[in-house]
Structure 1
Amino acid sequence: MRFSLAFYTLVILLSGCQPKSKPASLPAAGATPQPDSVTTLVLTAEAVRKDVTLPAELLPYERVQLYAKVPGFVRRMSVDIGSRVQKGQLLAVVDAPELGARVAEGGANVQTALVRYQNGQDLYRRLAAARQAAGAVSVREVESARNQMRADSTGWVAARQVLRSLRDQQAYLTLRAPFTGVVTRRSADPGALVGISQPLLELENNRRLRLRVAVPEALTGSRLPANRVSFTVKAFPGQAFAGALDRKSETIDPKTRTELWEFRVDNASGTLKAGMFADAKLGMARSQNSFLVPPTAVVTSLERKFVIRVKGGKTEWVDVATGLGVGDRQEVFGPLANGDTLLKAANEERKPDQTVIAVVK
């Protein structure tokens, strides 16, 4: 009993000696929270240039398929694939005996029509002269002779036109090179029956080539400094070739959303071949200076794409559109101006009209 009383007395004494804990401090009524400090950047418009590599194709500057316009048999083939020919050079000769007979008939018809016209003209002149004597020839006879002479003249002209057409067709039996180039295909041999169903030869001018590049719609508003392109082909790895911009299609293909740009490539050495695929490197540049920001400064949501500007210590969302990606920065377009302050790391949680302290880094 004595021991228990002494123990409880000691516990009470010790608890009374413990220091009392201080009550938790509470914020003063009406106190305003301190604004956040945010890392920002200051916009400065600058020249934008980006090297873009796009697939391309090499095509001959000129290409033609040569047909025998008139059905016939191949008499002679003067060239084969790989043959280099000059403009106007004889390539092939086709025989069409039926056409030869029609040409001879046309010539005879011309001579017949000429004789008829000459006889009618002579008759008209004699009747006109006899008409000078009163009552020798009637007016009706003179008029009839004159009308017949005119009809004979028209028949003669028509016969000549028919003969000219037949001779033009006969000229098609001789195939000549329309330009200087190389024969890339031959599909007939001497003795073969040919017509307009398939070409006898195919000719290409590959001393100059066309490099065609499909440029994406987003890049068509950019310019190409010096209008030059550099490209490589798999046949010559490590070797770069050059071309000059010749023309643009001036329309966007609705299927691929691209515009066709064509470059002129000098191939006098014959190193490059038509039909090759190439990787074209284009140094695209904007016509005017643009704004470049880190990708983290652009917020993309389901509804919009925006950056957060700090103006007067307050945040505001500014809708933008993105352009080229240049290195580790992104081109942006919108109601922005030089000197604007933007958040470097923007997100949807940073609502508009929030008070912040801008720290430019």
Structure 2
Amino acid sequence: MKIKFIPIIIMISSLAACGGNQKPVDISPEKNGKEAKYETAKVEEEALSTFTRIPGVLKPFNQVNIFPKANGFVKAILVDLGSKVNKGQLLMILEAPELESQLQSANSRYLQAQETASASSEKYRRLKEAAKEEGSVSPLELDNALSRMKGDKAIAEAERSNVSSVRTMQDYLKVYAPFDGVIVDRNVSPGALVSAGKSSDLPMLVLQDLTHMRLEVSIPEDYVDKVDLSQMVKFHFNALPGEQHQAKISRSANSLGNMRQEIIEVDVANKDSRLKAGMYAEVEIPLKSGVTSLLVPNSAIVRSTERKYVVEVENGKAKLIDIKEGMKGTDMTEIFGAIKAGAKIVSPANDEIKNGQAL
């Protein structure tokens, strides 16, 4: 009989426990009302390295697109793709039959004008001789003869100029090389019709001077005043690994282009013709000694599609400072912006931090 009472006792004990003052334990984290804490770092000011690496591209020292100066047909092409030419060498001959007709017509008008001018001059000379006898020739008649002679001489001179102009147009039918170089493009064949004054058309030939070349480098705006123009530039070409070159900066544009960059050029010798226009190079641009720059941890920079910024801690609140990036290292990045060395910034930072937020 005692065994039957044991389950009843256990049930009563369980009900008593549930009906007491005990409450369920809250296992959620405590809410103490404090703001989230962020790690911070300081903006450091250090000297820049002695150079910065910027890509460059090789360009021909001189290049010209050769267009026709007169309308005509291509009669003969004396060069082809890859031909080496010298200054003054005949490259192409055009033909224009109408120019020959114009020259003959201009010559005929010139000869006629010459004859008329000669006759007028002879008439004036005779009247002038006759006028020595008083009363034989009136002064008005002599003046008219003089005016006629001057007018006919002017017409003859104009016709002579017209002949020279047509001959000059004929000279345009022969195309000569303006400098030593290599033909790198040819876009016409014999018999092709070419027209002058249409820059939208393809050039007949493209000539490049490749004996020495220009290595063109675009310097970002933030480095323009830091480049040391007196130092040697070191560079190597991606297509020629293992070869190192150096030369001095030959010229600079002294102006910023549309991309807010300044163009500098380095003259590169190419006597063996190994270098080709369009080759890319890694260029070490020397920087002035003593120049310092602001550096921040890489994780302190917040990047979005609209802006790049760091979060400065000012009086316990967040202040978003827009910046530009310079050279980037393994841990630190050079920045440019309205911030001073020693300023406290959030690192790592994220875009969830809002301007004015208490930190």
- CA drift of 1:243 comes to 4.1
- Map 1:128-277 to 2 at 5 A: 128-196=128-196, 197-224=201-228, 226-254=230-258, 256-276=259-279
Residues 1:303 and 1:273: Cα distance change in structure 2 (over 3 Å): closer
- CA drift of 1:176 comes to 0.8
TM-score (norm 1): 0.69
Residues 1:143 and 1:273: Cα distance change in structure 2 (over 3 Å): same
> Gaps spanning 5+ residues in structure 1: where?
1-39, 309-318, 349-361
- Map 1:32-47 to 2 at 5 A: none
Residues 1:69 and 1:288: Cα distance change in structure 2 (over 3 Å): same
In structure 2, what is the Cα distance between the partners aligned to 1:286 and 1:323?
19
Q: 2:282 aligns with which of 274, 280, 283?
A: 280
Alignment pair present for 1:117 and 2:117: yes
The aligned residue for residue 53 of structure 1 is 53
- Map 1:274-313 to 2 at 5 A: 274-276=277-279, 278-286=280-288, 288-290=290-292, 295=297
More divergent stretch after superposition (73-82 vs 169-178): 73-82
Aligned to 1:92, the other structure's residue is in SS state strand
More divergent stretch after superposition (97-106 vs 195-204): 195-204
- CA drift of 1:267 comes to 1.1
Residue type of the alignment partner of 1:178: P
- CA drift of 1:250 comes to 2.1
- CA drift of 1:206 comes to 0.9
**Native 8 Å contact 2:312 2:346 kept in 1:** no
In structure 2, what is the Cα distance between the partners aligned to 1:225 and 1:59?
20
Higher-Rg member (1/2):
1
> Gaps spanning 5+ residues in structure 2: where?
1-40, 303-307, 315-320, 350-359
Residues 1:221 and 1:116: Cα distance change in structure 2 (over 3 Å): same
- CA drift of 1:229 comes to 2.6
Q: Which digits, 9 at most, give the CA deviation of each residue in 1:42-92, with x for residues without a partner?
A: x9x986434322222211111112222222222221111111000001111
Aligned to 2:256, the other structure's residue is in SS state coil
In structure 1, what is the Cα distance between the partners aligned to 2:185 and 2:212?
19
TM-score (norm 2): 0.69
Residues 1:211 and 1:249: Cα distance change in structure 2 (over 3 Å): same
In structure 2, what is the Cα distance between the partners aligned to 1:293 and 1:107?
79
Aligned to 1:54, the other structure's residue is in SS state strand
How many residue pairs match? The answer is 301
Residues 1:161 and 1:275: Cα distance change in structure 2 (over 3 Å): same
In structure 2, what is the Cα distance between the partners aligned to 1:208 and 1:181?
10
**Native 8 Å contact 1:290 1:331 kept in 2:** no
In structure 2, what is the Cα distance between the partners aligned to 1:141 and 1:104?
36
Residues 1:198 and 1:166: Cα distance change in structure 2 (over 3 Å): farther
**Percent of pairs with identical residues:** 31
Aligned to 2:106, the other structure's residue is in SS state helix
In structure 2, what is the Cα distance between the partners aligned to 1:235 and 1:304?
39
- CA drift of 1:303 comes to 9.6
Residue type of the alignment partner of 1:111: L
Residues 1:70 and 1:344: Cα distance change in structure 2 (over 3 Å): closer
The aligned residue for residue 37 of structure 1 is none
**Native 8 Å contact 2:311 2:346 kept in 1:** no
